[in-house]
């Protein structure tokens, strides 16, 4: 059995891996001309840009190589067993396919007893290592789950001068295929969640009621501490919830049809005060499909940010004003081509804000804007921005989950490994996904406290803007190869 696995792994490392884009929820407008990804060798950089290098590299190159081997080992048999169908129920070109898929996926999946078991099961000794605000736990897992355990390096060997450059495939595609092989019933979890529209609309109404109420309190100045406290405690929580509602809607998980999802995203965007929903959509889908790719994934800090904001004051500045970094960075890194949806989003928000100001004065709009600022600043729920993809404690893991109570306020975005593995599974079913496939998730390092993540990020020396996994830009690599 082991020799057969090794043989198939060797063939997989030299073969082209086909990607089923239908599993990327909402990915209807950013799929590339080809739906093929080639597994890259980690022996040397594939980018043609000068100065691109692996980070320090005794452990960096070793990690990349072992990651490539592990992923190939588990994804090869899975790929052949599950199949490489490229269904397009998230395609913009055919809304009926979206409706057809979602009509089959509206209910909560039942956990059936299946005879289909993982390829190989190996018991491991229980081993738990506690970190401040996070935990690394290894328990009884299958070889499929252990294949994605990250490398852990001593902190004194970890360079802070550059990002961690890897030349292996991002981990979520191969783990998705392995989970579908071991637990095909996971597909029944996919589909839209009707509850999303009710929750997001309720939060919108809450924000408008608070904003209008404050406008009637003539003794409260919009920049008084009492006003700011309300904007932080209520508004910051509500608008962070709205950000994440738009995130769910971006994956087409509130309604059956694409247009309904887009229109609803524009509506709930009113609570934020600035047009955001339609600009966020393409950037976020590229973040899923090209995770860590330099120049494409705009969630990644730039080299300038990592150099200028290296010390404690710089990291505190970033954490305080990160909403502006997320809003402005994409325009510098990868500007979008405006569409009619962008125009509709901007027009609606401008008209809504004008009506709000003319009817109730400037106070309600100031409250909404302050709420949006606090939602992306030093707020407990805002810590998920840092918790999701920054590395900590020398653990070379690029996606982290959090399973604590704050998920109640945040559409379960803490289930972030689960979300990246299956973006088409809505927030209400992510806990069930973890229960169905615990051998793939319970062994991974995870955060235990969002607020402590922010504290560790700012004050600790084991994380910073440099602590991100980056991959060479594919277009630059292709251009370099053609020029040779």
Encode pLDDT of 165-185 as tens digits: 999 999 999 999 999 999 999
Question: What does the pLDDT average to over 280-294?
Answer: 96
Q: What angle do CA 17, 21, 23 make, to 5 degrees?
A: 110
Can you tell me whether residue 131 is helix, strand or coil? strand
Instruction: Determine the pLDDT at residue 470.
Output: 96
What's the DSSP call for residue 90? T
Instruction: Determine the pLDDT at residue 41.
Output: 33
Instruction: Determine the pLDDT at residue 144.
Output: 63
Q: Which domain holds residue 479?
A: 1-484
Which band of pLDDT confidence, cut at 50, 70 and 90, is reported for residue 483?
A: low
Q: What's the total number of domains in the chain?
A: 1
Instruction: Determine the pLDDT at residue 307.
Output: 93
Q: Which residue has the higher pLDDT, 200 or 332?
A: 200
| Lowest-pLDDT choice from 101-110, 152-161, 353-362 | 101-110
Encode pLDDT of 100-142 as tens digits: 444 444 443 333 332 333 322 222 333 333 444 444 444 434 4
% pLDDT > 70, the chain: 69
Using the structure block, give the residue that is written with the tokens 């920049």. 223
Beta strands 141-142; 134-138: pairing state = unpaired
Residues 376, 386 contacting (CB under 8 angstroms):
no
Using the structure block, give the residue that is written with the tokens 């599974």. 425
| Alpha-carbon span 10 to 133, nearest angstrom | 39
Encode pLDDT of 387-433 as tens digits: 999 999 999 999 999 999 999 999 999 999 999 999 999 999 999 99
| Alpha-carbon span 434 to 16, nearest angstrom | 29
Instruction: Determine the pLDDT at residue 476.
Output: 74
Q: Which residue has the higher pLDDT, 251 or 35?
A: 251
Other C-beta atoms lying within 10 Å of the C-beta of residue 143: 18
Instruction: Determine the pLDDT at residue 46.
Output: 37
Structure tokens given for 240: 């962070």
Q: Left if phi > 0, otherwise alpha if psi is -120 to 50, otherwise beta: which for 292?
A: left
Using the structure block, give the residue that is written with the tokens 């295929």. 177
Q: Left if phi > 0, otherwise alpha if psi is -120 to 50, otherwise beta: which for 164?
A: beta
268 pLDDT above the threshold of 70: yes
Structure tokens given for 290: 């090209």
Q: What is the mean pLDDT of the chain?
A: 78
Q: In 3D, which of 200, 284, 281 has the Cα closest to residue 238?
A: 200
Instruction: Determine the pLDDT at residue 367.
Output: 98
Other C-beta atoms lying within 10 Å of the C-beta of residue 3: 7
52 pLDDT above the threshold of 70: no
Encode pLDDT of 290-339 as tens digits: 999 999 999 999 999 999 999 999 999 999 999 999 999 998 999 889 99
Beta strands 401-402; 127-131: pairing state = unpaired
64 pLDDT above the threshold of 90: no
Instruction: Determine the pLDDT at residue 146.
Output: 83
Question: What does the pLDDT average to over 274-286?
Answer: 96
Contacts of 307 (CB under 8 A, 6+ apart): none
Structure tokens given for 257: 């049809």
Instruction: Determine the pLDDT at residue 341.
Output: 98
């Amino acid at each position: 059995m082991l020799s057969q696995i090794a043989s198939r792994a060797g063939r997989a490392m030299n073969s082209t891996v086909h990607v089923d884009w239908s599993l990327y929820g909402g990915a209807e407008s950013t799929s590339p001309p080809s739906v093929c990804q080639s597994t890259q060798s980690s022996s040397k950089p594939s980018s043609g840009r000068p100065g691109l290098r692996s980070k320090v590299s005794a452990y960096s190159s070793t990690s990349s190589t072992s990651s490539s081997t592990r992923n190939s080992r588990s994804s090869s048999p899975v790929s052949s067993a599950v199949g490489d169908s490229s269904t397009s129920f998230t395609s913009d070109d055919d809304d009926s396919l979206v409706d057809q898929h979602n009509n089959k996926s509206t209910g909560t999946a039942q956990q059936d007893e299946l005879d289909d078991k993982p390829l190989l099961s190996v018991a491991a000794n229980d081993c738990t290592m506690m970190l401040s605000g996070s935990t690394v736990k290894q328990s009884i897992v299958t070889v499929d789950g252990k294949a994605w355990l990250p490398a852990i390096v001593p902190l004194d060997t970890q360079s802070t001068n550059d990002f961690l450059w890897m030349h292996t495939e991002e981990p979520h595609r191969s783990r998705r295929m392995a989970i579908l092989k071991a637990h095909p019933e996971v597909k029944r979890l996919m589909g839209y969640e009707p509850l999303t529209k009710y929750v997001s609309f309720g939060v919108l109404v809450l924000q408008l009621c608070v904003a209008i109420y404050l406008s009637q309190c003539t003794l409260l100045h919009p920049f008084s501490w009492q006003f700011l406290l309300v904007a932080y405690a209520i508004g910051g929580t509500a608008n962070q919830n709205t950000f994440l509602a738009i995130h769910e809607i971006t994956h087409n998980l509130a309604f059956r049809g694409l247009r309904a999802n887009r229109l609803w995203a524009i509506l709930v965007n009113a609570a934020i005060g600035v047009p955001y929903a339609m600009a966020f959509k393409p950037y976020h889908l590229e973040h899923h499909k090209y995770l860590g790719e330099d120049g494409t994934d705009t969630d990644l800090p730039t080299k300038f940010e990592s150099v200028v904001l290296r010390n404690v004051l710089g990291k505190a500045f970033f954490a305080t004003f990160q909403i502006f970094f997320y809003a402005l960075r994409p325009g510098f890194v990868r500007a979008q081509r405006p569409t009619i949806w962008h125009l509709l989003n901007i027009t609606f928000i401008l008209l809504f804000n004008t009506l709000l100001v003319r009817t109730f004065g400037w106070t309600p709009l100031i409250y909404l804007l302050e709420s949006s600022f606090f939602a992306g600043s030093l707020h407990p729920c805002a810590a998920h921005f840092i918790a999701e993809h920054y590395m900590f404690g020398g653990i070379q893991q690029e996606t982290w989950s959090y399973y604590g109570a704050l998920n109640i306020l945040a559409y379960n975005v803490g289930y972030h490994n689960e979300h990246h593995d299956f973006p088409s599974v809505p927030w209400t079913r992510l806990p069930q996904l973890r229960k169905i496939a615990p051998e793939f998730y319970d062994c991974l390092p995870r955060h235990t406290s969002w607020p402590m993540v922010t504290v560790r990020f700012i004050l600790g020396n084991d994380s910073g803007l440099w602590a991100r996994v980056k991959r060479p830009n594919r277009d630059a690599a292709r251009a370099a190869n053609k020029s040779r």
